[in-house]
């Protein structure tokens, strides 16, 4: 048996703002509509399908593996937007990044409170 993640739904208050924020932060192509979703396509053929929801949104965690040069670009965007960032999911040291497994990484929140993570090396690698 073979299984691959194909897509997941990201609940949000405003799909245009939320999907646009993620695409902009990661330097991805603009989101495209599909049915009642706004879809952000990732380079590994997985899509993140943004869907609006009324009421509370339970924060989720989404981690993105990016290259070293891409980290510099994304990190510059985080700083330019004045976003708080942390080296860990517990958010214990604001304004720091991690250097796990010889790479770099940090966590930051999107517009709906989802915890986004960018890393340059897979953990345990």
And the tokens for 123? Answer: 């953990």
**Under 8 Å CB-to-CB from 121, ≥6 apart: which residues?**
65, 100, 101, 102, 103, 105
pTM for this prediction: 0.95
Q: For domain 7-119, say whether CATH 3.10.20.30 is its number.
A: no
Q: How far is CA 21 from CA 26, 70, 108, 114, in A?
A: 9, 16, 12, 12
Looking at residue 125, its pLDDT comes to 67
Looking at residue 124, its pLDDT comes to 87
pLDDT tens digits, the chain, 125 residues: what are they?
A: 999 999 999 999 999 999 999 999 999 999 999 999 999 999 999 999 999 999 999 999 999 999 999 999 999 999 999 999 999 999 999 999 999 999 999 999 999 999 999 999 999 86
> CA–CA separation, 105 vs 121, rounded Å?
8
DSSP string of 34-100, one letter each residue: ETTEEEEE-TTS-EEEEEE-SS-----EEEEE--HHHHHHHHHHHHHTT--EESSTT--STT--B-G
Residue 37: CB atoms within 10 A of its CB come to: 20
């Amino acid at each position: 048996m073979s299984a691959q993640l194909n897509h997941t739904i990201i609940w949000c208050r405003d799909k245009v703002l939320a999907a646009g924020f993620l695409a902009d932060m990661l330097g991805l192509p603009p989101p495209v509509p599909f049915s009642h979703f706004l879809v952000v396509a990732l380079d590994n053929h997985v899509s993140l399908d943004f869907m609006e929801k009324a009421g509370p949104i339970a924060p989720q965690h989404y981690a993105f593996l990016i290259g070293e040069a891409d980290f510099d670009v994304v990190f510059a965007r985080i700083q330019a937007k004045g976003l708080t960032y942390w080296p860990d999911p517990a958010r214990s040291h604001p304004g720091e990044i991690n250097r796990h497994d010889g790479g770099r990484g940090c966590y930051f929140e999107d517009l709906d409170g989802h915890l986004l993570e960018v890393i340059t090396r897979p953990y345990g690698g």
